[in-house]
């Protein structure tokens, strides 16, 4: 039907215009049997309830996708629509985005930033790759990544609550120092304290074996906040997979489309 609708009004060189009847005749001769009356019947048919709802949803999906830099995939578009009170199934969002040619950003390769240092800490791996706590402030994960900017390379550190995958603290620096990751940690503590969380007794802070996290100063900061420290094995990204995932999403969705990053 779409083929006939597109070509029925198209004027060929010399002023020749194909009519619906002639197009249907050619299609039928090539094995696609369709009568002009069938085409007109479909054109005059009122939209079904599903077609009407799909048309409305497509507009909302386009809006959410565009508002988030065109990097949201079906899952994130679906979550955002439901947060806004637009009840829709994930499979419906996937179908409509596929029909519209909309897709999320695709991740690139990963550059390692961890410089391991053995010793200097007494922390063990208390997480064991289990990144699904049953409540907020039971598990924080931390890591940092690099970003290309107009002013040169900088590093960005995050502290993430594993329950909601919310970034609680972040820090930016031109060098990979202990102060750099401490600032992100201190912001996370401040964020939670501001909203009423003063007791971190049941909280585990997990990170890799980067020298910034295994330093004595960072260990002292954990102890002062009453937070138990946990540390993954050397050179194994799976031991801190959730933080690695957030780093990848941050760069894929925010930084990569604007590389190199321009800003203060």
Mean pLDDT, range 237-255, rounded to an integer: 84
Per the model's pLDDT, the better-predicted residue between 147 and 115 turns out to be 147
The per-residue pLDDT of the chain, averaged, comes to: 84
Assess contact for 214 and 117: CB atoms under 8 A. yes
110-135 pLDDT, tens per residue?
Answer: 555 555 555 545 678 899 889 999 99
For residue 217, the model assigns a pLDDT of 93
For residue 52, the model assigns a pLDDT of 85
Distance CA 97, CA 104 (A): 10
43-47, 115-119, 175-179: least confident range: 115-119
40-49, 70-79, 202-211, 241-250: least confident range: 40-49
Per the model's pLDDT, the better-predicted residue between 201 and 255 turns out to be 201
10-25 as b/e, with b when 16 or more CB fall inside 10 Å?
A: eeeeeeeeeebeebbe
For residue 109, the model assigns a pLDDT of 54
For residue 206, the model assigns a pLDDT of 95
The band of 10, judged by pLDDT with boundaries at 50, 70 and 90, is low
Secondary structure in 3-state letters for the chain: CHHHHHHHCCECCCCCECCHHHHHHHHHHCCCCCCHHHHHHHHHCCCCHHHHHHHHHHHHHHHHHHHCCCCCCHHHHHHHHHHCCCCCCHHHHHHHHHHHCCCCCCCCCCCCCCCECCCCCCCCCCCCCCCCCCCCCCEEEEEEEEEEECCEEEEEEEEEECCCCEEEEEEEECCCCHHHHHHHHHHHHHHHHHCCCCCCCCCEEEECCECCCCCHHHHHHHHHHCCEEEECCCCCHHHHHHHHHHHHHHHHHHHHHHCCECCC
Check whether 89 has a pLDDT greater than 90: yes
Q: What is the pTM of this model?
A: 0.60
Residue 133 pairs in a beta bridge with none
For residue 13, the model assigns a pLDDT of 58
């Amino acid at each position: 039907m779409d083929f006939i609708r597109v070509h029925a009004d198209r004027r060929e060189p010399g002023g020749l215009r194909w009519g619906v009847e002639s197009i249907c005749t050619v299609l039928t001769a090539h094995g696609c049997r369709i009568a002009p009356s069938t085409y007109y019947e479909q054109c005059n048919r009122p939209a079904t309830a599903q077609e009407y709802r799909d048309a409305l949803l497509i507009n909302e999906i386009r809006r959410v996708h565009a508002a988030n830099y065109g990097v949201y995939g079906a899952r994130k578009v679906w979550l955002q629509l439901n947060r806004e009170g637009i009840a829709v199934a994930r499979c419906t969002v996937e179908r409509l985005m596929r029909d519209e040619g909309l897709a999320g950003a695709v991740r690139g390769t990963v550059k390692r930033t961890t410089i391991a240092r053995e010793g200097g800490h007494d922390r063990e791996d208390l997480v064991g790759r289990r990144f699904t706590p049953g409540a907020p402030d039971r598990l924080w994960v931390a890591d940092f990544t690099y970003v290309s900017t107009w002013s040169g390379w900088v590093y960005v550190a995050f502290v993430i609550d594993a329950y909601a995958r919310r970034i609680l603290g972040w820090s930016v620096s031109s060098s990979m120092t202990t102060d750099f990751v401490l600032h992100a940690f201190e912001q996370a503590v401040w964020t939670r304290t501001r909203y009423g969380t003063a007791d971190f007794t049941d909280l585990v802070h997990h990170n890799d074996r980067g020298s910034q996290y295994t330093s004595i100063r960072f260990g002292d900061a954990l102890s002062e906040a009453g937070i138990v420290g946990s540390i993954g094995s050397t050179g194994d990204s799976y031991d801190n997979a959730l933080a690695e995932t957030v780093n990848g999403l941050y760069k894929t969705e925010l930084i990569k489309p604007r590389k190199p990053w321009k800003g203060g």
